[in-house]
Chain A
Amino acid sequence: MAEFNVNLRGVGSVSVIDVKGYLDAHTAPELENVFNNLLDQKQYQVVVNFDDLKYISSAGLGVFMAYVETMRENQGDIKFSNMKENVYNIFDLLGFPILYEFFKEEKDAIQKFSEQV
């Protein structure tokens, strides 16, 4: 079974999701649960830290597509940080850099939210 872990942290008003391991059709529901909890708590400013993510398939990318609109409608966003090249290449292949912001460092992604207020 694929190993996947997801952890949620609060950094000021921003929710940081750490994803670790393999994000595929089997593990994507775990990430969906975290996003559902954020919506329940009206937390719309989200940074996803990919530092420990080894693999992603379209099922994982689909999670971000499913939630980003709601976040943006509520003055929030989903921003990405610390992505490995092999993972970024999949996002790039699907045109995500046009629609999402990518940051090398988590703190820069968090900082971007405070600039928007």
Chain B
Amino acid sequence: MNSAENIFHKEIVVKSSTDNLSQIRDFTKAAAEFSGFSEETVGKIILAVDEACTNIIKHAYKNSPDGQIDLSIKLENGKFSISIIDHGVHFDPTRIPEPDLKEYYKQKRVGGLGMFLIKRLMDEVNYYTLSGNKNQVILVKYLSR
């Protein structure tokens, strides 16, 4: 593959409703398949993006469907990165501990599972605070791994 073929950039903007999760998954699936990932890895990427957007809908927008989620996916030199930006309430992901499933099960706490999954499914996960009270998470998967 030459460098020209190994670059693309796609974006969508959706409202913060769980109704839109299937559209988000379809968008992610098309981009990951186009980039040449295996079926298994495509599945991991789709789930990670679903989990990140679900967290935004539930925590940043507190289940209000009127918020905005900006998804941007690009492939560059084998690095597939998904930027997800919201304009909701900031939350610090580093303050959420990795779940102990037995403790979760006892306490009926289920919220932190998504964060844990994202870390397991992707090669890199980075959170940023942008100007204008925006939050960004960038999920990265490398084609070569």
Within 8 A of A (CB), among B110-140: 110-111, 113-114, 116-117, 120-121
User: Is the Cβ of B54 less than 8 Å from the Cβ of A2?
Assistant: no
Binds A, one of B7-15, B68-76, B80-88, B101-109: B101-109
Structural contact, B108 and A93, CB atoms closer than 8 A: no
Do A86 and B40 have beta carbons less than 8 Å apart? yes
Q: Do residues B113 and A61 form an inter-chain contact, with CB atoms below 8 A? A: yes
A103 at the interface (CB under 8 A from B): no
- A-B CB pair tally, cutoff 8 Å: 71
Does B58 touch A at the CB level, under 8 Å?
Answer: yes
> CA A69 – CA B110 in complex, angstroms?
13
Known interface pairs A2-B21, A99-B102. Does A24 touch B110 (Cβ–Cβ under 8 Å)? Answer: no
Q: Are B54 and A94 in contact (CB under 8 A)?
A: no
Q: How many residues of B contact A (CB 8 A)?
A: 28
Query: Which of B40, B102, B108 gathers most chain A CB within 10 Å?
Result: B108
Question: A68: which B residues are within 8 A, CB to CB?
Answer: 105
Give the most central of A55, A59, A68, A96: most B CB within 10 Å: A59
> What separation, in Å, do the CA atoms of A90 and B116 have in the docked complex?
11
Contact B43 A86 (CB under 8 A): yes
* B21 contacts across to A, CB distance below 8 A: 2, 24-26
Q: Is A98 an interface residue (CB 8 A)?
A: yes
Question: Is A62 in the interface zone, CB < 8 Å from B?
Answer: yes
Provide the residues of chain A in CB contact with B19, threshold 8 Å: 1, 26
Mark interface residues in A27-68 (1 if CB within 8 Å of B CB, else 0). 000000000000000000000000000010111011001101
* B108-A66 in contact (CB<8A): yes
Interface centre among B19, B102, B104, B113 (most CB of A within 10 A): B113
Given contacts A1-B19, A58-B51, A58-B110, contact A94 B105 (CB under 8 A): no
State whether A65 touches B117 (Cβ < 8 A): no
Structural contact, A25 and B108, CB atoms closer than 8 A: no
Q: Can you sample 15 A-B contacts with CB below 8 Å?
A: A2-B25, A24-B18, A24-B54, A25-B21, A25-B58, A26-B21, A55-B25, A57-B50, A57-B51, A58-B51, A59-B110, A66-B110, A69-B105, A90-B47, A99-B105
